[in-house]
Amino acid sequence: MSNHPTNQPPYTGKTLVMRRPEAQRRLAASPQPKRSRWPIGRLLLGILIVAALTLGFGYWYLHQLAQRIVVADPRGPTFSSPLLGANILIVGVDIRRDRPDEGVRSDTLMLVRIDGMGGWANLLSIPRDTQVDIPELGPRKINAAYAYGYLHANELYGADISAEQGGMAYAADTVGRFLNFERRGMRVDYVVQIDFDGFAALIDALGGITIDVPRRIIDEAYPTPDYGVMRVEFEPGLQRMDGERALIYARTRHADSDFGRTERQQQVVQAIMNEIRQRNWLERVLLLPRMLDAVAPPGETPAVLTTLPLSNLDTLLAMGRLAANLDPALLGRYRIEPGSVRVQENGSNLIWNADDVAALVNRWLTPPGEASEQAQVQVLNGTDIVGLARRTSDELTTAGFRVITPADAPPGEYPRTIVYQVGDTPFTARRLAQLLGAELVVGNPPGVSAQTEIVVILGNDRQP
């Protein structure tokens, strides 16, 4: 029985041409509209216009900021670039502009080694009680250098030099001599001066900063602007601070020492960097007007002055690379203090061992990393497994860590292994935590008097 319908001819093996209806033929013959690329082009053009306007807006405000706060260096130009490597001295000054008879003094001296191409920066703090030889004065505390340059600017550098320029230049030269920069073929290249009001206003312009206070601080005699004292207190833990509170945190020292204060000042610098880095590029550009109003209000003496050419191309490129690449947690933080440099006391003056200072400067000039940290590790056993700390210490030594004699952890429950970064050694601590699969905590382990920069407490999750 045939499967073909009765109204169609049987298949003959020939190809049959089926004709389209007339309407379909006319539709096929008509040209098809092409998909327009203009919407995509308009989108790209819009993005380019917004980017150009943002960059233009940002550069204009940065140029305005530079015009107000950048001053000439009376020592002459430097040939070092922030993009390729430069030394910047930050001078925190106590200037009572309403009471010129009170004089002026530098409260903070902090050097920044910046390398824009390498994407890294290191801090080095110098205690204000450090004794140095000042040619015109003899042995003095290093913070006297700014005051001398401030008061004798015209005698030292010329009739058209301001007091601030003189103080900045003389402080830079004094710091350079103390650190023997001339023997290294370098100098303090740029200076940034900031007073207390400018420091607080800058942080307020950022909307505040977040600080992880490592331990409780009580200062019963914190100085007030009217030359009195007041009680200040900081509890340990993460805290949001406005400018006034952050200034108190950075300046207080009666609770511990001047060395604790330099540690806090570096912590504040790190927090400022972290606050900026958390914003996208548009938000950073929009910060510039607030920063301009905060540090250089029209008609007033700027709270910040610098010899760093902010609007130069190499400076802009260096700041851009650092903002994009530098993790504030990996900022190198070094301090001249008894824990790292031998010291003798001459009354309240501190005389530091020159060889130890030179070794510390070598580390400060080296890109951050495990090699420059030279961190020591101690492993504490928080489990019931006998010999676990010893075996773990041997494993870490084989992995290239510098490990001292292990010990038992204080009595308690330790469900997890924790790596405590006690010192400023983030690279070593991170690799160690990754190797052990452990939690990383910045700070001292509870109940432990740390003898090393890193302490590992082995928990019950650590198997032999």
| Per-residue exposure over 232-254, b if at least 16 CB sit within 10 Å of its own CB, e if not | bebeeeebebebebbbbbbbbbb
d(CA 373, CA 364): 10
d(CA 198, CA 247): 10
Amino acid occupying residue 461: D
Cβ pair 389, 381 in contact under 8 A? yes
**Pick from 106, 234, 225: nearest CA to 175:** 106
Q: Which residues of the chain have pLDDT under 50?
A: 1-6, 11, 15-18, 27
d(CA 245, CA 231): 13
The predicted pLDDT at position 1 comes to 44
Fold held by 371-458: Alpha-Beta Plaits (3.30.70)
**Pick from 160, 188, 185, 145: nearest CA to 72:** 160
The predicted pLDDT at position 102 comes to 61
The predicted pLDDT at position 45 comes to 59
**Pick from 262, 109, 124: nearest CA to 174:** 109
Domain ranges of the chain: 63-368, 371-458
Residues in contact with 120: Cβ distance below 8 Å, sequence separation at least 6, in sequence order: 326, 330, 332, 367, 368
What is the CB neighbour count within 10 angstroms for residue 226? 5
Q: Where are the alpha helices (DSSP H) in 18-125?
A: 22-29, 38-69
Give Cα separations from 64 to 68, 71, 296, 424, 436 (angstroms): 7, 13, 10, 37, 51
The predicted pLDDT at position 79 comes to 87
Cβ pair 91, 111 in contact under 8 A? no
pLDDT in tens, 35-88: 555 566 666 655 566 555 555 656 666 777 888 899 999 999 888 999 999 999
CA dihedral 274, 277, 280, 283 (to 10 degrees): 60
Cβ pair 111, 89 in contact under 8 A? yes
Instruction: Determine the 3-state secondary structure of 430 from DSSP.
Output: helix
d(CA 267, CA 215): 13
**Looking at the DSSP assignment, which residues form a beta bridge with residue 44?**
none
Tell which CATH architecture fits domain 63-368: 3-Layer(aba) Sandwich (3.40)
**Pick from 215, 220, 223: nearest CA to 107:** 223
* Cβ-based burial of 52 (10 A; exposed 0-12, middle 13-18, buried ≥19): exposed
